[in-house]
Amino acid sequence: MWPPALVLAAIAGGFGRGANGSAGPFGPLEQAWLAQALPAKRRGSVLSLNAAIGFSGMALGALLAGGVQLLIGPLGSVLAYRPLFLLSLAGSVAAFMLIAGLHEPAPVPSPKRPAEHSERRSENRMLTRLVIANTLNGLGIGMIAPLIAYWFALRFLRGPGSIGPALAASFVFGALGSIVVARMVKRHGLIRPVIVMRGIGLALLIAVPLMPLFGVAAVLFALRAGFNQGTAGVRQALVVGLTRDRRGLASSLQNVSIQIPRAVGPVIAGFMLHAGMLRAPFFVAAGLQAAYLVLYARFFRGYEAGGVE
């Protein structure tokens, strides 16, 4: 097939999809919609459970992708991958039908308040801080997440039959981590669970490239996902609480400020892997995410309760 046509088809077919636990371009709408119906104190737990459901589906998909190894024999190395595209298409059609039947209540205009101008300036300041912190986080994610399957193949010479279940395990732990954080946030607010969980995940990220065996590295990576991705819902809850009536904007900034730097990460990591520097992307990513955690704690320590209603 003509490569440019394949690239265009991949872009069109993948629009709206997230990867490695990200919500995708339509994630901000979902988060703003959920936040609209939730009081501030419940956002952290509900959005964490929502993330857990997403991670569970991704775990199932990764496990099914590992089954390609069983189809290569009877179908050949090219045809074996085609059922995965049909399965993905069926999921997209089902999701479209579910969303098409939903109805959104008409928005109610917020009354003007005397302090609205100063509130907007304060909100804009917090949104700027969000973009700064997320830029570091997105670049760190991009160094590892998009290329982790390739890294496993390059480092340990493993195929889909081994890498698929390993990624499935990471999403299972991501779902379990989200459930744990949904309980933690009720006692400890929105900030402390993120710092503790992602701090542990940071240590595991550094340990993964140092492991000599595939099984050990895969287990550590899966555990790291539980601690790292398990905070996704809590971080979404903080974002929608940064503004009073611009939650869609806040969620969009959250998405864009992660995804654009994340797109740069694979380019840098790709050069490193091509040069044989198999550990360097992990260490650079760990440094970026450590800086993100420091800024996150410093910027948002006053939003433990979940932000504005």
Mean of pLDDT values over 199-227: 94
Q: Is the pLDDT of residue 135 over 90?
A: yes
- Asked if the structure places residue 30 within a domain, the reply is yes
Tens-place pLDDT, residues 23-36: 566 666 777 777 77
Domain that holds residue 234: 22-69+118-300
- Asked if the structure places residue 166 within a domain, the reply is yes
- Asked if the structure places residue 308 within a domain, the reply is no
For the chain, helix, strand, coil in percent to 5 are 80, 0, 20
Q: Is the pLDDT of residue 76 over 80?
A: no
- Asked if the structure places residue 133 within a domain, the reply is yes
User: What is the structure's pLDDT at 308?
Assistant: 46
Q: Is the pLDDT of residue 285 over 90?
A: yes
Domain with residue 230: its CATH number is 1.20.1250.20
- Asked if the structure places residue 11 within a domain, the reply is no
- Asked if the structure places residue 79 within a domain, the reply is no
Write the DSSP symbol of residue 123. Answer: H
- Of 193, 217, 191, nearest in space to 205 by CA: 217
- Asked if the structure places residue 292 within a domain, the reply is yes
- Asked if the structure places residue 7 within a domain, the reply is no
User: What is the structure's pLDDT at 14?
Assistant: 64
Total domains, the chain: 1
Q: Is the pLDDT of residue 277 over 90?
A: yes
Which has more pLDDT, 162 or 161? 162
Which has more pLDDT, 194 or 76? 194
Amino acid at 57: G
Mean of pLDDT values over 185-208: 90
Buried b (16+ CB within 10 A) or exposed e, 286-306: bebbbebbebbeebbeebeeb
How many of the other CB atoms lie within 10 Å of CB of 101? Answer: 7
